Amino acid sequence: MSDGAIPHPTDLLPHRAPFLLLDEITELVPGQLASGTWRLTGDEWFFPGHFPGRPTLPGVLMLESLAQTGACGVLSDPRFTGRIPLLAGSSKVRFRRQVVPGETLDLRVELTRLTGRAGKGEAVASVNGETACQAELMFVLADG
């Protein structure tokens, strides 16, 4: 990353398909913020059952995609190489709109507190500038 290139999510995260819910990192300031996108094609494993005839992205997966985005912000900081940020909690969660197949979820997490053991982040997921979900995320850092 020292050359200014933004890494792929799999360069930072241990997550892999089918549970990698972040296609691309679009902005990264190590230890401060991360932004990215998740493009929902409709072929994802959860859409057939949530809901038949009216596919909708589950809110918990929206939160997880935000957590993965925040984890990229943490793990891009050299102080946390080899660590694993685990989602410890969420508060002030609000779902503002449905997200459906064919939409791109824009994800942004600003890390508001970061220590050697834990942290917090303000997270927003949106579609075309319209907020779909917002939350405060808390995480702990485990040894990798």
Residue type for position 63: L
Contact (CB, 8 A) for 138 and 120? yes
Q: Please list the helix, strand and coil fractions of the chain in percent, rounded to the nearest 5, in that order.
A: 20, 40, 40
Which residues belong to the active site? Answer: 50
Alpha carbon separation from 63 to 19, 58, 69, 79, 109 (Å, rounded): 13, 9, 10, 25, 11
